[in-house]
Structure 1
């Protein structure tokens, strides 16, 4: 059985919100409805607030998929990528079958692991969608 999955390369994400907006427009969501939102990893003091102190500041972004995300089942059944993956300008997102070692998803996971990335999912208590994985290479400052 196929297990659709999305891989988010946190080190490639630029925080542009294209994933969220393409989902919102593609699914004709209400003004205040989002299936994907983008967290800023930094100081925790709001959107796009860096962490650290000068000159050692840092900031990353992380698309977070809510339980309402369908991974664009109406598109993927026809062999197309979900709207977020298709439209990501940084190519930070990869879609595929987690059970198929030859899928784009599985190949990208293995490629990133070989480069020292850790791959994980959000904890269940965060209320996020299943089968969304996050790849990140942490470097010391």
Structure 2
């Protein structure tokens, strides 16, 4: 992993969009522009609708960085975390050496480590960790 690679621990992500909003505000993006969005994985019938039938409902989220993401290169050069990583209230995001260490620890605990498929047209330097 290089210093700009972001690791997303999907077991910690709660779909709060704090990462996305921190990116938007920190980078001064206009209202209609997002470099990071959070997809709800549920029933597919709209935002934040769970899949399954009561009482067996389930839902999860996956942050997706666009290829426009600049990884807050200036912040990293100054020893600061990217806006998204710094703002995550659940510690679901890490970057650089911290991401590499956490990735290995999660792998040893049985987590699956993966990247999004090319058809997602997402940023390259993002890896995801999911339990099972």
Secondary structure in 1 matching 2:5: strand
How many aligned positions are there?
132
Give the one of 126, 134, 137 matched to 2:128.
134
Does 2:70 align with 1:70? Answer: yes
What are structure 2's unaligned runs of at least 5 residues?
A: none
SS at match of 1:84: helix
* Residue ranges of structure 1 left out of the alignment (5+ in a row): 97-102
Q: Which residue of 2 aligns with 1:113?
A: 107
Q: CA deviation at 1:3?
A: 4.8
Let me know the Cα RMSD of the aligned residues. 1.3
What is the alpha-carbon distance in structure 2 between the residues aligned to residue 3 and residue 17 of structure 1? 24
Residue number in structure 1 paired with 2:41: 41
Aligned residue for 1:122, secondary structure, equals coil
Moved over 3 A (4+): none
Separation in structure 2 between the aligned mates of residue 7 and residue 115 of structure 1, nearest angstrom? 16
Partner SS state of residue 4, structure 1: coil
Task: Find the counterpart in structure 1 of residue 52 from structure 2.
Answer: 52
Alignment pair present for 1:125 and 2:106:
no
Q: TM-score, normalised by structure 1?
A: 0.90
Q: CA–CA distance in 2 between the matches of 1:28 and 1:47? A: 25
TM-score normalised to the size of structure 2?
0.96
Map 1:70-109 onto structure 2 (within 5 A): 70-96=70-96, 103-109=97-103
Tell me how far 1:74 sits from its aligned partner.
Answer: 1.2
